Structures are given as structure tokens and as C-alpha cells.
A and B are shown apart, each in its own frame.
Chain A
């Protein structure tokens, strides 16, 4: 099983003009996923330890302590997969 399958339960395209993607991490792996991403990405801002505004390469995204992340300006699913593989490895 690949690293994405290890950590990601579901991805969901948001409804709205923004066309963002929400990634939902597996419940029993979410804390580890959050930890791994925080170690890889650069923290721009954190609010009450609940939401982390992060950057990684050209991407900016928000990660929630509940094990969800919202990604913007992604070209396609392949780009998301590549990004998640980097962030979770």
C-alpha cells in the first residue's frame, strides 16, 4: 500500500467557484499525518493550535487538527497525489 492509501481516507472537491480540494485523513492515522505534514511544511500562522496555515514549495494550504486539510490552486488529481506523497513521506 502506498503512503497516500496509508494516511488518506477521502478527498473531496469543494462545491463553489473556488474548486478547492479537502483531504480527510484516516481517523486512526490523523495525528501522525498532521505531525508529518507540520514537520515538512513551513508554518505561516496557527490559530489556537486548531488550524495551521502552511506553505510547501509553491503551494499554500490549511491543515486542521481534526485531520483535514484544504488545498487550493491545484492543477489536477495527479498534482495533489504528488504533493501528498511529499508531505506524508
Chain B
């Protein structure tokens, strides 16, 4: 088991006070706090190695290129990809999904093709498909979610057909923390010849994720939710698929040659090797450096330990909320099994925003609203929800304080 008190020493922000109370940060599903190792790596990059990467022969550029390439390797190893060719750096999960959506929709998806999306998806795995279906003419089939927040596998099996070209599913729901059986979904999808795109924004930071074991074609995740900086994220893609796939954006870095033919008066373009073919323009080199440190940090803690710690916190929080609070309702699954460290909840007669504002008064940070998953809230028939989400530096002591304040909110 990990020691959250020892881990907390690495996170400078956790020493600060908010509204004269020690900061209790329970909005980790939105973004995580950063350890000093990540902060130091970013500072050191700008102080010692900053330069643009690739195609420059001078020392600084060589150093920066090496650091940036190492970052790809580090991430590839973390998710058990075959190599850095399969890890494309993007701004975050949203851009990763858009990359796949645009590339697929503009080149491979045709009228009457189908894309499957579940109703528990974050808007970032719904909106790109809705936009592109209007351009490319493909259909979207939505998979139902059960009342407890779990995916309705019968609905999925009923929706899939030979027309399905891509199945889009989150590994872990950002509202309920439910862990979906991605392996099962991938197996069925592949039987029908469909690709599988997994939103790993809430899984990669919180549990061991092995792309080979899951047998998925794409996995999208964000650096900032896993101790890294904002503005850097990853799209894992199976090498043979990425090789065939058309680029998302055009520009420098992603090309090998741009040859002008005086005869045709057009340019013919040869794409760069993977992963650079999908990284147009000057990349976020420093973000990559920060992400490397974040991955190293998580590897040192151990992803099994991360998972166990969050499971223990979730179990503790859910049992205390039930035991101590009469008006608090927990949404989604009522047990902590097959669930990451996310607890969506409400207090009878109190809006989620009032809950968040009241907790803020005590330095406790929770999210309120739809959490960018409005369709799932419609399934639950909720106007909004409050959400507490945990990470490696959270403690049972913090949950006790949270419960104390929840009891005060019940007096509203």
C-alpha cells in the first residue's frame, strides 16, 4: 500500500490554505495536482535545454529532441505499447479523440457506416462524432446505460453490426467511476470488423492499463490528470492502423518532403514516420518532459498501489456518507467494486453548486454540474451532481473532514 502522507510531501500546493482551512483537493477527475519532481523537470527544461526539436544540428536542439523522444518511449512503456511509434502527443484526450474522429470521418467513414457511442461518454467523445456525422453522413448509435451507471452490454450487442466502423467507449466513467469491461467490448467489436477507441482519461491515471491486454485500437488520455502538466496528452494507436490513417493536421514536423512539380504546379507530400506524422507544428516539448516525470512518479508509486489506495478511499467515503449523512444520496453504483475513486452525490433539497460553494468555504474542492456528461445525467434524471474524486495524496482524514461539512450542509 502507498503512504499518502509521504506522497503529500512531494506536492507543494497541498500545504496551502484556502479560506483559512487546509486545502482538501477532491477534484482529481478534473485535473490532478503536480509533484515537485514534475515542476522541477519543467523548470530545468526551460533553464537548461529549451530549443525546437528535430532537424536542427546544434546541441540544445539535440538535447530537446532526445528528451521529447524519451517522453514518447516512457509513455509507450507505461501503457505497454509496442514503441514510441504508437504514442502520438496531442493537447489532451479531447484532441486525441478529435484526431481519430476527423481522420476517420474525412477519409474512411462513408454514408450508412455506423459509429457506436455510449451514453456515459464525456462530451469530448460525443460532440466530435455528432459534428462529423453531419459532414460525412455516417450514423451514430448510442448504447444505453443502466440505472446504476453500468454499461448495458445487451444494448451494445444489439447496436453493433457489420456497418459499425468504430466503437467509442470510456474505460472509466468521469461521473460515476464505473470501470467498463473494455476487453469484452473490444472482442465483440473486432468480431464485427470494427475499430475500438477508448477514452482513458479516467483510467490511465488511476489503474494499470495495458493496451495489448485490453486489445484496443486507440486509447486517448491526458497528462494533466496524471500528475503531468496541462496541454499534453496522448493518443495510442495500433501501429498498422496509424500507418494507414490519414493525418489530422498538416504543417511542419509531420512531413518528410513537400515537393513542388513545375509541370502540375502542385506539391506532392510524403508523410513523416510515426508518431511525427500526427504531430504537426512545433510540439509541446516541455509538456512531454513534464509528462515523463509524471509517468516516472506513478511507476515508482506503482499503479496497483494507486488503484488499491483509491478503492480503499472510495469504499471509506461511501460507507461514511451512508453512515453519517441522512440526506446524502450517492449516484451510480452503490458498491465500490469495479469502480475508480469517483463518488457522485447530492444532498436532498440542495443544489450541487451550493454543495460545492459550502465545501469551498472549508477549503474542500469538489466539482458540481454535469461534469461534461449531460446525457448520463439525463439517464439518472438529475439536474446536476456534486462529485468528489480522489488520488494518491488524499487521505481518510480528509474524508472525515468532508463528512463533517456534509452534515452541516444537511441543515440547509
Contact = CB atoms under 8 A, between A and B. Distances in A.
- Of B19, B354, B370, B383, chain A has the most CB atoms within 10 Å of the CB of B354
B357 A64 contact: yes
Interface stretch (A2-10, A35-43, A65-73, A80-88): A65-73
Contacts of B128: none
Contacts of A48: 408
Contact of B358 (A14, A16, A51): A51
Interface residues of A, number: 17
Contacts of A62: 354, 357
B369 interface: yes
Contacts of A65: 361
Interface string B341-364: 000000000011110011011000
A1 interface: no
B411 interface: yes
Given A15-B369, A48-B408, A22 B353 contact: yes
Nearest to B362: A50
B208 to A, nearest CB: 32
B369 A16 contact: yes
A47 B360 contact: no
Given A64-B357, A64-B358, A66-B360, A18 B411 contact: no
- Of B351, B377, B383, chain A has the most CB atoms within 10 Å of the CB of B351
Contacts of A15: 368-372, 384
Given A14-B353, A64-B358, A47 B411 contact: yes
A16 B352 contact: yes
A64 B372 CA distance: 26
B58 interface: no
Nearest to A12: B353
B361 A16 contact: no
Nearest to A47: B411
A64 B411 contact: no
Contacts of A50: 358, 361, 408
Contacts of B377: 16-17
A75 to B, nearest CB: 19
Contact of B351 (A20, A47, A64, A68): A20
25 contacts: A14-B353, A15-B368, A15-B370, A15-B372, A15-B384, A16-B353, A16-B369, A16-B383, A17-B377, A18-B351, A18-B353, A18-B384, A22-B357, A47-B408, A47-B411, A48-B408, A51-B354, A51-B357, A51-B361, A62-B357, A64-B360, A64-B361, A68-B360, A70-B353, A70-B357
